[in-house]
Amino acid sequence: MTDADLETVVARTGHERYRWLTSDANTDVWQRDQYRALVVQLATGQPPEPAAYPPLATMIGNALTAGVAFIKSGCSTVDQVEFDRRHSICEGCEHFDAAQDRCRSCGCMTNLKLWMASEHCPLPEPKW
């Protein structure tokens, strides 16, 4: 999405709220991404790109499973060295979305998941 796309949509619709919904100030990443795709579609007439992440229900299930495991582990976290090791592995992975700091395979927010001692890479052959 470009600034020009956003200005076109705001001018056409008169809805200033698109500015906030698509900005980084909107901390709901899923909602922000959906509105950015909508703005591109409205500005260009092109359909949005397919979702880069698993379906929302799958991501919610993954998050709940991770949360339960984290609590069962006594909220055990890894140290900074292990976090950095995991993060560098993720950064080199084809499934890593650097712009969102998220994994496209499971949809997790790596800045949270990498700290959890109970978690592992979601790929069939885990990288960490």
Alpha carbon distances (Å) from 8 to 28, 58, 80, 123: 23, 34, 45, 40
**Predicted local distance difference test score (pLDDT) of residue 15:** 87
**Predicted local distance difference test score (pLDDT) of residue 122:** 93
> For every residue of 21-69, which 3-state class applies, written as one string?
HCCCCCCCHHHHHHHHHHHHHHHHCCCCCCCCCCCHHHHHHHHHHHHHH
Taking the domains of the chain in order of start, what are their residue ranges?
A: 3-44, 56-113
Query: Residue 27 in contact with residue 21, Cβ under 8 Å?
Result: no
pTM of structure: 0.60
**Predicted local distance difference test score (pLDDT) of residue 88:** 96
Which residues of the chain have a pLDDT value below 70? 47-51
**Predicted local distance difference test score (pLDDT) of residue 84:** 97
